Amino acid sequence: MPNDASQSRVPVEERLFSLVLALLATENGLTKTEILSTVQGYRQSFDHTGDNANLERKFERDKDDIRELGVPLETVQAPGDPGNNQNLRYRIPRGAYELPAEISFSAEETTLLNLAAMVWREGSLSAESRRALIKLRSLGVSADEPVIGYAPRLRVRDAAFEPLNAALGRNALVRFAYLKPGEAEARVREVAPLALVQHQGRWHLWAEEPGNPVRKTFLLRRIVSRVETTGKLFEAPEGDLSAVALRDLEDVWNRNTAVVEVEAGSDAATRLHKRRGTVETAPGTLALHYADANILADELAGFGPEVLVVSPSTLRDAVRTRLERTVADHG
């Protein structure tokens, strides 16, 4: 039987992506047994000696899903054994999956695509997914290296991202020091990581503390120590937790509004006008949404005298404090 400790929660999206990646990686295709025993999202539940009927049904549903997404999944009959479904091989022909040669992009479009791709990197694949590719090779399945070009590439500057992502996949409790704005010393937090999400260009951890049902959001850049696992596991709630975390952040963003006055024709006027959700309520007066007052205060203080915060007063005071500190630091 599969080891219970190895059956970490694998999101549906990662399972489908791992399946596509594995089928692209081999020219001759994979049998159902090879897929179920090696691909991330199936192998955790695969029983080498028992009944895998439920797993096979999951695979059948996944085949339909990726075909609906436009992925050209093919089945290949085994030579000399036609009609034997157990020996059918599944593959995704590279030529049918790639963009047609007649499609090209302008310089501007290429730049936008490159910017979109900046949030992806091979490292975003879990360690389990990378081990699955290695295992396929150990079975004698030839895997093309260029297929890694299809792997998601996450450029993450926050050192906490990878250990948190690994702990998230194992449902492992973690411990780290977190420095909140305005506090002189960091506090050690022990949490159950539920989701890692990017909102407004910054990575956030959505988590809950043991014994506290209130879920909290931690900005990764405020984690000031190594992320360590405690050796304890937790039972993760069902559902798309990333979607819930993003919805919570978006609710906070929508609720919080700042009113600022900007100097006409200034850099602040140009940039803040282009901020998502900005509304010009009067000439030179803007209403801005925000999720974190301290992050917005950092941004507004960077514009110096080009911006005057009208409300809320807490944000105005935060910007003033930053400007006074800058003056003190530079004499």
Please give the order of strands across the beta sheet that includes 279-282: 279-282, 285-289, 257-262, 307-311
Residues 172-179 have a mean pLDDT of 96
- 122 pLDDT higher than 50: no
Report residue 268's pLDDT band, with 50, 70 and 90 as the boundaries.
Answer: very high
DSSP 3-state of 286: strand
The predicted-structure confidence for 68-101, as pLDDT tens digits, reads as follows 777 888 888 776 666 666 678 898 887 776 666 6
Backbone angles phi, psi at 105, to 5 degrees: -125, 145
Q: Which residue has the higher pLDDT, 130 or 248?
A: 248
Say if pTM beats, i.e. exceeds, 0.85.
no
pLDDT one-digit tens code per residue, 212-234: 888 999 999 999 999 999 999 99
pLDDT above 60: residue 140: no
Give me 50's structure tokens.
Answer: 């028992």
Tracing tokens 């192998």 back to the chain, one arrives at: 43
Confidence at residue 148, expressed as pLDDT on a 0 to 100 scale: 39
The answer to whether the beta carbons of residues 185 and 224 sit under 8 Å apart is: no
Give the CA distances from residue 160 to residues 54, 167, 233, in Å, rounded to whole numbers and listed in that order.
36, 11, 19
Domain architecture of the chain: domains with CATH: 4-150 (no CATH), 161-239 (2.30.30), 256-329 (no CATH)
Type of residue found at 249: L
Q: What is the pLDDT of residues 4-33, one digit of tens each?
A: 434 456 777 778 888 888 888 877 888 888
* Whether 172 contacts 230, CB under 8 Å: yes
**299 Cβ partners below 8 Å, 6+ apart?**
none
pLDDT value at residue 5:
39
- Give 105's pLDDT tier (boundaries 50, 70, 90): low
Q: What is the mean pLDDT of residues 54-71?
A: 85
* Residue 228 zone, left/alpha/beta (φ > 0; ψ -120 to 50; rest): beta
- 158, 224 contact by CB (below 8 A): no
Task: Give me the pLDDT at residue 75, please.
Answer: 87
Nearest to 249 by CA among 207, 290, 308: 290
Q: What is the 3-state secondary structure (H, E, C) of 94-158?
A: HHHHCCCCCCCCCHHHHHHHHHHHCCCCHHHCCHHHHHHHHHHHHCCCCCCHHHHHHCCCCCCCC
Q: What DSSP line would sit under 238-269, residue for residue? A: SS-HHHHHHHHHHHHHHH-EEEEEE-TTSHHH
Average pLDDT of the residues in 239-258: 92
Distance CA 236, CA 13 (A): 17
